[in-house]
Amino acid sequence: MKLELPVATFVPILIASGLLLAVVLGPIIERLLRFIYHRDEHFQLLLTFALVLVFEDLIRIFWGASPLQTNNIYFAFGELRLAHNLAIPNYNLIVIGIALAISLGVGWFLQATRFGKIVRATAENAAMCEALCIDLSKVYVAVFTLGVALGTVGGALVVPATAASLDMGVELIVDAFAVVIIGGLGSMPGALVGALVVGLIRAAAIWLYPEFEMLAIYVIVIAVLILRPRGLLGKSA
């Protein structure tokens, strides 16, 4: 069955599906993680690794192991012709726009809203917040779900440009980590800078030396670790 939907609904559907998934999964996973909050950080890593395994097989069961594509969405918005042989699909521009809007939105949320301030306070000193009658469990669920939503919406938006594959997640972990190392731990502007660096290097590598695409990122991470361990904009240890 083919749904003939207007092009304008594509992006909202992608975002909405991401949000819906986050709202369903977020609280469930957070509840699982709550069992081990009081323990060593390592257990969070292990539990989320277990979830990765579970999700991978669940995806296999529902959709099979081969990557799925939605190229029709990617090209449905036309393209912006910059020069004779240089064109950018408008979809990319739409995603960039949405990404900027979301990061500004999240930044505003954390800085300006009451809940955002509670979130930042909880990160600093959870016990104090509890003493001030803040329901920590609500904060945790909300923040976790927000984090999940950023992931699911991001994943949904990137699928038309590449494909939905099983190891998307792991590649992203490494990329995300490269972003944090390059930009600097504990710095939001650093994350932005790091993401730009990683993205541009990726694109450059694909164009110049496709073989080195994966290696290029790792090499930069190692270089940063050696030359400037705290990252470009990181706070010193």
Partner 1 sequence: MSVASLNASLPATSRHGARLVYVVPLVGALIIAAFPYMAGPHYAILMFSAMGFAIALMGLNLLFGFTGLLSFGHAMFLAVGAYTAAYLTSAKMMTLEVILLTAAVAAVVVAVPIGLLCIRYVKIYFSMLTLAFSMLLYSFLFKFYPITGGDEGLRIRLPAPLLIDLSKLDTVTILTGPMYFYVFGMLVVLTFLMWRLTHSAFGLGLRAIRENEQKAQYLGVNVQRYRLLAFIIAGAYGALGGVIVAIPVGLAEPSLAYWVQSGNLVFMLLLGGYTNFFGPVLGAIVFIFFQDQLMSYTEYWRLTFGVLLAVVVIFFPNGLMGVVDLRRVWST
CB-based contacts of 80: which residues, under 8 Å, 6+ apart? Answer: 87, 88, 89, 90, 93
8 binding partner 1? (CB under 8 A):
no
Which of 40, 62, 82, 207 contacts partner 1 by CB under 8 A? 40
105 binding partner 1? (CB under 8 A):
no
215 binding partner 1? (CB under 8 A):
yes
How many angstroms separate the CA atoms of 99 and 125, rounded? Answer: 30
39 binding partner 1? (CB under 8 A):
yes
4 binding partner 1? (CB under 8 A):
no
Q: Which residues from 159-188 bind partner 1, rule CB under 8 A?
A: 170, 173-174, 177-178, 181, 185
54 binding partner 1? (CB under 8 A):
yes
Least separation in angstroms between CB 43 and partner 1: 5
User: Which contacts (CB < 8 Å, 24+ apart) does range 173-180 have?
Assistant: 174/217, 174/218, 175/217, 177/221, 178/217, 178/218, 178/220, 178/221, 180/231
CB 221 within 8 A of CB 210: no
Q: Which residues from 106-125 bind partner 1, rule CB under 8 A?
A: none
Which of 15, 19, 47, 164 contacts partner 1 by CB under 8 A? 47
**Cα angle 98, 193, 213; round to 5:** 90
Least separation in angstroms between CB 159 and partner 1: 22
Tell me, residue by residue from 13 to 32, as one string, x for binding to partner 1 by CB under 8 A and - for no binding.
-------------------x
How many angstroms separate the CA atoms of 162 and 21, rounded? Answer: 20
Which of 117, 218, 228, 235 contacts partner 1 by CB under 8 A? 218
Pick the closer one to partner 1 by CB: 49 or 115. Answer: 49
How many angstroms separate the CA atoms of 53 and 46, rounded? Answer: 11
Pick the closer one to partner 1 by CB: 34 or 81. Answer: 34
Residue 188 DSSP SS3: helix
Site size toward partner 1 (CB under 8 A) is: 40
How many angstroms separate the CA atoms of 88 and 184, rounded? Answer: 30
Q: How far is CA 180 from CA 63, 142, 184, in A?
A: 32, 23, 5
Burial class (CB in 10 A: 0-12, 13-18, 19+), 160: buried
Beta carbons within 10 angstroms of residue 84's beta carbon: 6
Q: Which residues from 134-153 bind partner 1, rule CB under 8 A?
A: none
Pick the closer one to partner 1 by CB: 118 or 221. Answer: 221
Interface residue list for partner 1 (CB under 8 A) = 32, 35-36, 39-47, 49-58, 60-61, 170, 173-174, 177-178, 181, 185, 211, 214-215, 218, 221-222, 225-226, 229
